[in-house]
Amino acid sequence: QNFVTAPVGFPHIMKSSAFLLLLLPLASSFTFLPTNRPSSTSLASSTYTLDGRAISNPVEPTNNFILVKLDEAADETDGGIILTKKAKQKVTSGTVVAVGPGRSHPDSGILMKVFVEAGEKVIYGQYDGTEIDYQGSKHTLIRDSDVLVKYTGEALTTDNAQTINDKMLVKVESNEQETAGGLLIAPTAQKSSRASVGEVVAVGPGRAAMNGEVIAMEVSRGDMVKFRDFAGNDVKIGDDDYTVITMNDCLARY
């Protein structure tokens, strides 16, 4: 038979099973100290990071802001030349992570929808956005008006390129001209070094009016347009040059 030593005041020798039964009423009087192991709540509160600091909730854009996870910068050129950190071009493209609810019209107060969704890829202006470090990766917060082109798929093509609001994507005509003798005039020798004529490749839905209704665009895909000199933002698709302009920059169509 097994015997254990009991506390003072109890019989000195008793069976272990009877001893345990005697201790049960005393169990409620014990105080258990908390351990240092973090609770599930504290673990959940540190699952997000912003600029190196732990935050309790995910980043959610407000107004017409869009949270974009930036693409990785190219490490080498197409010719195989390794680029240094200083020589790498600033990345202005990425994948949409979250979208704000939209902005209120300053006169009517009606909410103006953002025509971008999470998961789509976007290209924006070089000087637009506020970069942040979110979840250990580079992100940026841009307005919907900063978006030049959006698309789905691995690479931007003329087939999947889309513009939003009152923007249009135009394939710019070559700026080279010929003299009467057939000689090509270089762009640097012309008065304007940037072409302002081209074919419309993609058209946005239009600008939202004060009542929230979208005003249809006056141009369509396939139209040729003349736009203001030096207007728009350049976009490269393959080896061809494109520009994104607004309807206000478009002077005429033909």
Per-residue pLDDT reduced to its tens digit, 184-216: 555 555 555 578 999 999 999 999 899 989 999
Give the three-state DSSP class for 112.
Answer: strand
Using the Cα atoms of residue 144, residue 202, residue 206 and residue 231 in order, give the sign of their dihedral: positive
- Tokens linked to 39: 């609770």
Q: What is the pLDDT, as a whole number, of residue 174?
A: 76
Q: What is the pLDDT, as a whole number, of residue 67?
A: 98
Q: What is the pLDDT, as a whole number, of residue 24?
A: 55
99 or 90: whose pLDDT is higher?
Answer: 99
Q: Which amino acid is at 111?
A: L
Q: What is the pLDDT, as a whole number, of residue 189?
A: 52
Q: What is the pLDDT, as a whole number, of residue 87?
A: 46
The yes-or-no verdict on residue 156 having pLDDT over 80 is: yes
238 or 37: whose pLDDT is higher?
Answer: 238
Pairing outcome for strands 147-151 and 65-70? unpaired
122: left (phi over 0), alpha (psi -120 to 50) or beta: beta
Query: For residue 225, what pLDDT band results from cuts at 50, 70 and 90?
Result: very high
Q: What is the pLDDT, as a whole number, of residue 90?
A: 80
Q: What is the pLDDT, as a whole number, of residue 37?
A: 52
* Residue labelled with tokens 């000195």: 12
Answer for the pair 232, 248: CB distance below 8 angstroms, yes or no.
Answer: no
The yes-or-no verdict on residue 249 having pLDDT over 60 is: yes
Q: CA-to-CA distance for 170 and 76, rounded, in angstroms? A: 29
Q: How does DSSP classify residue 42?
A: H
The yes-or-no verdict on residue 94 having pLDDT over 50 is: yes
Q: CA-to-CA distance for 170 and 80, rounded, in angstroms? A: 31
The yes-or-no verdict on residue 76 having pLDDT over 70 is: no
Distance of CA 34 to CAs 37, 38, 41, 135, 163, Å? 8, 10, 15, 31, 57
Using the Cα atoms of residue 116, residue 118, residue 121 and residue 122 in order, give the sign of their dihedral: positive
